[in-house]
Homo-oligomer: A and B are copies of this chain.
């Protein structure tokens, strides 16, 4: 097939290029390429030989943060990458609020325009940084949770949150970038990875594809830590997935000085157990601006191990330090004094922040427990734990176990892949084989609905403690904490 856009410029391009031209064809899967050449669609024609300039874009649309990469398709390389807040945040921090907002007149349109504006802004920067012209981009691949995909494509999201939680689409059709407002050339199509269910989205399918869980026999736990935490257990033969709404704490949301993982975010944290003074490090080694998700984990674990907070997340107010003080949200700990920060005021962590983190990690861990039990295994059986999430690059396994986010199993089984969703989108952009794999993975994953699962609720309540009300689940953390003066 030939796109109308190609036909339109055919006559002039053929002559401009003196009958030598480069055509771009759209191939949506490896199977089509080999068995059915008719499945290809010619989407662009350019005069002369332009094969050396062949680029694409991969995006992960998160509820809080959006991450994008500009890719060189000839060399299989990332040329530039960027991160920005999802412009929809001003309409609501979580998915439920945003779906509700869509029920207002013009609501869906506004949210769609917000995310498109975010992406267009990022595309402009990526292209400028790598000196790639907009017309040299051949396609775009997008992953994201089911709601984000619906909002991006302006599809009715209402039924995502109504039982039986049926999204409008699992496999979104190819759409022209222009038709949804993305400012790329007319011929560019957007491929969206498929999802499994309303709360097991294209981001998790993309992560499974990107991390290769479906290619190996190893029994794997895949955790995608973010506002909408998602968990997969399985291997090349079977996979079960569940979603547990962790809330935005891992992406800096609902945290007084929270921010996404970018320059200025406090990530590293150590505390002097004698005077309770902190030693912090930031991403980009700049003055601190806020706290990212991984920083939050490190800080809470550090405060806990130093006895600054107790296992229920409350401050010990009898310590000889000015850093613990009463603030507007109850007690807080000053991480950095105003004079040393980019924002000109003290950066603190509050009891409310800690409480939000506890609830977030409790949801993730409870989901994990429920799924492990659901498939009839125990955490010790897991041969591999893949941690994905864009909440920071230097997550500390030990500290994550200390707060009860990860199961307390041998440390060498943990693998960190960063943003799994973006990784999968990137690999999909590079290979038509992987496009097929995405569809196969989406069909292969069985969804376990946790929202009305009694086990999950019980596990969640039990996990609202540092590391857990059942200390025997975290023997190594218990050992460390037992050393503290009572």
Contacts and interface: CB of A to CB of B under 8 A. Distances in A.
User: Interface size class for chain A?
Assistant: 20 to 34
Give how many copies assemble into the complex. 2
A361 interface: no
Contact of A156 (B12, B159, B172, B179): B12
A375 to B, nearest CB: 32
Contacts of A155: 7-8, 11
Nearest to A168: B11
Contact of A7 (B2, B4, B10, B173): B173
A172 B172 CA distance: 28
Contacts of A175: 4
A173 B4 contact: yes
A172 B7 contact: yes
A154 interface: yes
26 contacts: A1-B173, A2-B173, A3-B173, A4-B153, A4-B173, A4-B175, A4-B179, A7-B153, A7-B155, A7-B168, A7-B169, A7-B172, A7-B173, A8-B153, A8-B154, A8-B155, A8-B156, A8-B168, A10-B168, A10-B169, A11-B155, A11-B156, A11-B158, A11-B159, A11-B166, A11-B168
Interface of A: 1-4, 7-12, 153-156, 158-159, 166, 168-169, 172-173, 175, 179
A185 to B, nearest CB: 16
A1 B4 CA distance: 18
Contacts of A12: 156
A168 B155 CA distance: 37
A157 to B, nearest CB: 9
Nearest to A179: B4
A21 to B, nearest CB: 14
Contacts of A9: 156
A236 B136 CA distance: 49
Nearest to A166: B11
Nearest to A10: B168
A38 to B, nearest CB: 10
Contacts of A173: 1-4, 7
Given A4-B153, A4-B173, A11-B155, 8 more contacts: A1-B173, A4-B175, A7-B153, A7-B155, A8-B154, A8-B155, A10-B168, A11-B166
Contacts of A3: 173
A265 to B, nearest CB: 38
A471 B179 CA distance: 64
Contacts of A10: 168-169
A132 to B, nearest CB: 27
Contacts of A158: 11
A174 to B, nearest CB: 8
